Amino acid sequence: MDDANKDSVKPKRRIRYKGKYPRRFEEKYKELNSEKYSSDVEKVIQSGKTPAGTHRPVCVNEVLGILKPCPGQVGLDSTLGFGGHTVELLKKIMPNGRLFAIDVDPLEIVWTEKRLRVMGYSDKELIIKCGNFAGISKLLNDAGGGFDFVLADLGVSSMQLDNPSRGFTFKREGPLDLRFNPKNGQSAVDLIRVSDKKQLEKMFFENSDEPYARLISSAVFKNRNKINTTKDLADVIVSALNKKSSLDYEIEIKKSIRRVFQALRIEVNDEFSVLEQLLRNLPFCLKPKGRVAILSFHSVEDNRVMNFFEQGLREGFYSDISREPTRPSAKERYSNPRSKSALLRWAVKK
């Protein structure tokens, strides 16, 4: 290209930041670059929202109080996510401590590792691996035979929810995918296409306690070849439940949409099997008097955690467990609405 043509080529302009809080994900470049626009990001947080492309860790003080991380310990954050819990745990185990961190999402783990390395955490004290937490026993040799503490946050990260291309929420239209690892398994669309009405009903009821599972499954099955996006599925659910004139959209119907998305996400990612494998492995991965904290976000998950902990106590694996789940404080629920459904349980190895 000659000099004259070079001069005529204008650089592509960035999308204008529209208003105080832009609605579209791709327009939120300030939130997506928190290091450069820290003051703008802080304003979003102060408004009670989570900045796009980030995640605000839940129950941080409660988790630290339960796990009691100390200098020199070896721990595991089995759901790295944005790294919020990870950073707080690292601060407590320095100097001479080591923290293993794993995450099943191959897309988000790249950005999180890059940011944590820039913060100064090397691979000597922070060992990051891609994979789900069912395989934590594979880390034992490198961890010296066991962990002093383990944290598992079972919630979906805000980065996944906010990005419409991941298809995790009905609030933004995108492909109906719902996979934590888009390279593995079948998407939610594919799952719907190959499931019959009874399978869908069972899925919606058992995975999320959906009270209108039969009605919704019938509508989804009938329209299964027309459902391609998050909006398509939400519209089918709304249409089915609108036949019940007593239902209010803002209260009951929205809850049903969320539950159906949750049920599909759990099935697509085989979440219950992965969780149960983690819970079975935990007693053999913790050092004596080692501690575990698990954050769940709905009763179906929480009941599994509670049952495994109670069984571990009866069988002598644990010396103590939480009798009731810890909930986020009123202040945290107000400032971070996505924390509202969090349930935190713990156990101590004998």
Domains of the chain: 17-43 (no CATH), 60-158+280-349 (3.40.50.150), 182-268 (1.10.150)
With 0-12 / 13-18 / 19 or more C-beta atoms within 10 angstroms meaning exposed / middle / buried, residue 166 is buried
pLDDT for the residue numbered 29: 43
CA neighbor of 266 nearest in space, from 167, 175, 188: 188
What are the structure tokens assigned to 104, written together?
A: 């099943």
pLDDT for the residue numbered 198: 98
Q: How confident is the model at residue 45 (pLDDT cuts 50, 70, 90)?
A: very low
- Per-residue pLDDT reduced to its tens digit, 99-139: 999 999 998 899 999 999 999 999 999 999 999 887 899 99
Kind and range of the H or E run holding 343: strand 343-349
pLDDT for the residue numbered 33: 54
Lowest mean pLDDT among 15-29, 223-237, 297-311, 333-347: 15-29
Mean pLDDT across the stretch 165-185? 89
Alpha-carbon distance of 19 to 332, in angstroms, equals 26
3 state SS of 336: coil
pLDDT at 16 over 90: no
Kind and range of the H or E run holding 130: strand 126-130
DSSP track, 267-291: HHTTHHHHHHHHHHHHHHHEEEEEE
- Per-residue pLDDT reduced to its tens digit, 181-227: 998 999 999 999 999 999 999 999 999 999 999 999 999 999 999 99
Q: What is the mean pLDDT of the chain?
A: 87
Cβ neighbours around 94 below 10 Å, total? 15
Cβ neighbours around 92 below 10 Å, total? 17
Alpha-carbon distance of 98 to 111, in angstroms, equals 21
3 state SS of 166: helix
Compute the residue count for the chain: 350
Sheet with 343-349, side-by-side order of all strands: 126-130, 98-103, 74-77, 147-153, 286-296, 343-349, 318-321
Alpha-carbon Rg of the chain, whole angstroms?
22
Cβ neighbours around 114 below 10 Å, total? 10
Side-chain half-sphere exposure of 219, counting CA atoms within 13 A: 20
Residue 102 near residue 153, CB atoms below 8 Å: no
pLDDT at 249 over 80: no
Cβ neighbours around 29 below 10 Å, total? 17
pLDDT for the residue numbered 165: 83
pTM of the prediction?
0.83
CA distances from 101 to 66, 135, 149, 265 (A): 18, 12, 12, 23
- Per-residue pLDDT reduced to its tens digit, 250-297: 788 999 999 999 999 999 999 999 999 999 999 999 999 999 999 999
- Per-residue pLDDT reduced to its tens digit, 60-110: 999 999 999 999 999 999 999 889 999 999 999 999 999 999 999 998 899
Alpha helices in the chain (DSSP H): 3-8, 38-46, 60-67, 84-93, 108-118, 158-162, 188-194, 197-208, 213-222, 230-241, 254-268, 271-285, 299-314, 330-335
Percent helix, strand, coil in the chain (nearest 5)? Answer: 45, 15, 40
